[in-house]
Amino acid sequence: MSATSTVKVKVPATTANLGSGFDCLGAALTLYNQFRFSLSTREVLQIIATGAEADRVSTDASNLVYQSFTKLYEHLGKTPPPVQIEIAMDVPLARGLGSSATAIVAGLLGANRLAGSPLSPEEVLHLAIALEGHPDNVVPALMGGCQLAASGIDRDWEICDIPWDRSVVPIVAIPNFELSTAEARRVLPNHYTRADAIFNASHLGLLLRGLETGRSDWLRSALQDRIHQPYRQALIQGYESVQSAALNAGAHGMVISGAGPTLLALADSASAEAVRSAMSSAWAGQEVDAQVKLLQIDRQGAIVE
């Protein structure tokens, strides 16, 4: 049997944090980046990106997909082979929808398959978390669904699949401005009060049951957070107007998706279209161009073929 020379990888966008689950909870969404890795006879690295924001990613060795590709070979103690990488981009960059997670996950999965799959899925997951620095977007990007990650005792990470009731619809409002995760992390404090720690622990527990049952009263309270959102709202023009519009149209609640600036509302199926339209009008009223989409939870995660 001949060795694999081309690998295709499809990776979903993610919405991390979901309010009170800062740096530990995230869900995969039905929006995708696609990648093709081909072993090349040319020594020069070739990266071809297509899609709406393709001109915004680097096509040299600093590209995050290639960096992650080489990291896997380094981990194996091998030299990465010459490769051509094609990237078809649908996940907008630096908007809080896990574009960096798609790049890291694709680079690792592409390299692992081309190397003959020496690493187990768990080893790839650990490498992805180490590269991203937090688990809440790379874990759902790899596994699909809604995932909780907690540091473990018997292994580095305990990963827990969180049931998500199908009546709970994610609506993402994606503005036309970027906010890098690094910048949105810089505004966070290093210390929190005991009251804030208890607030988030209790609301995260409520959130997990709210997502499982679809209960609006639980979700409404549970989507509050005191660890990151109060510090990041000021970085997102129009946050309060879009939030009021979503709530008035019947959303259970609205949070910052990942590190922002995308805003995520959760609503039941009957209200979802009204919430989408209200968020869209609210951002237009703030003179911000935004795309507002009804999505679903991706249940499959990254696919390699």
What is the nearest approach in angstroms of ligand LJ64HWYM to the Cβ of residue 11?
Answer: 12
The CA distance from 27 to 200, in Å, is 18
Segment lying near ligand LJ64HWYM (by CB under 6 A), choices 39-47, 96-104, 241-249, 291-299: 96-104
Task: Report which of 209, 105, 198, 232 is spatially closest to residue 148, judged by C-alpha positions.
Answer: 209
What residues are paired with 48 via a beta bridge?
86
**Whether 260 contacts 233, CB under 8 Å:** no
Task: Report which of 66, 63, 147 is spatially closest to residue 107, judged by C-alpha positions.
Answer: 66
Q: Does 181 bind ligand LJ64HWYM (CB under 6 A)?
A: yes
| Structure-block tokens of residue 27 | 């869900």
Residue (50 or 120) nearer to ligand ADP, CB: 50
185 binds, options ligand LJ64HWYM, ligand ADP, none, Cβ within 5 to 8 A by partner type: ligand LJ64HWYM
User: Contact letters (x/-) for ligand LJ64HWYM, 242-281, by CB under 6 A?
Assistant: ----------------xx----------------------
Q: Does 112 bind ligand ADP (CB under 6 A)?
A: no
Q: Is 99 annotated as a binding residue?
A: yes
Q: Does 180 bind ligand ADP (CB under 6 A)?
A: yes
The CA distance from 52 to 211, in Å, is 32
User: Contact letters (x/-) for ligand ADP, 84-103, by CB under 6 A?
Assistant: ---x-x---xxxxxxxxx-x
Return the C-alpha torsion angle 186, 192, 196, 197, nearest 10.
100
Segment lying near ligand ADP (by CB under 6 A), choices 57-65, 145-153, 156-164, 284-292: 57-65
- On the question of a cis peptide bond just before residue 261, with omega within 30 degrees of 0, the verdict is yes
User: Contact letters (x/-) for ligand LJ64HWYM, 116-135, by CB under 6 A?
Assistant: ------------------x-
22 binds, options ligand LJ64HWYM, ligand ADP, none, Cβ within 5 to 8 A by partner type: ligand LJ64HWYM
Q: What are phi and psi of 81, to 5 degrees?
A: -80, 160
Task: Find the angle CA(280)-CA(261)-CA(16) to the nearest 5 degrees.
Answer: 110
16 binds, options ligand ADP, ligand LJ64HWYM, none, Cβ within 5 to 8 A by partner type: ligand LJ64HWYM
Task: Report which of 19, 15, 24 is spatially closest to residue 199, judged by C-alpha positions.
Answer: 19
**Whether 40 contacts 84, CB under 8 Å:** yes
Give residues in contact with ligand ADP (CB under 6 A).
Answer: 33, 57, 63-65, 87, 89, 93-101, 103, 180-181, 258-259
Give residues in contact with ligand LJ64HWYM (CB under 6 A).
Answer: 14, 16-17, 22-23, 96-98, 100, 134, 136-137, 181, 184-185, 228, 258-259
